[in-house]
């Protein structure tokens, strides 16, 4: 969970720095990530959990934030997404 949390946090920060998400969206998503980390750390200690389960929960939590209509940004914030998505969301042609 530590790697997932750290890398997801790095992705959120990159998206915030290039204005792909607002400060309010970043705060909401960061809090959602903290809650996910807390919930799944406890769960992982007692049961095996697949990455797909974690990613599905992460998507659902992020949809509660203001980026609900922007599926590409939510997908880009997940650990499994190719690093190129940051460039796509933040590059000169991003919109």
Handedness of CA 34, 2, 41, 47 (dihedral sign): positive
Interval 46-72: pLDDT, tens: 677 888 888 899 999 998 886 655 788
pLDDT in tens, 82-95: 667 888 888 776 65
pTM comes to 0.82
DSSP string, 38-74: HHHHHHHHHS---HHHHHHHHHHHHHTSTTTT-HHHH
48, 24 in Cβ contact below 8 A?
Answer: no
C-alpha 68/C-alpha 49 separation (Å) is 25
């Amino acid at each position: 969970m530590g790697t997932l949390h750290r890398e997801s946090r790095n992705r959120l920060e990159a998206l915030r720095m290039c204005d792909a998400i607002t400060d309010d969206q970043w705060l909401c998503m960061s809090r959602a990530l903290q809650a996910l980390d807390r919930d799944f750390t406890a769960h992982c200690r007692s049961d095996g959990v697949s990455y797909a389960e974690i990613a599905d929960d992460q998507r659902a939590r992020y949809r509660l934030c203001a980026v609900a209509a922007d599926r590409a940004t939510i997908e880009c914030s997940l650990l499994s997404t190719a690093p190129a998505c940051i460039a796509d969301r933040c590059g000169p042609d991003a919109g």
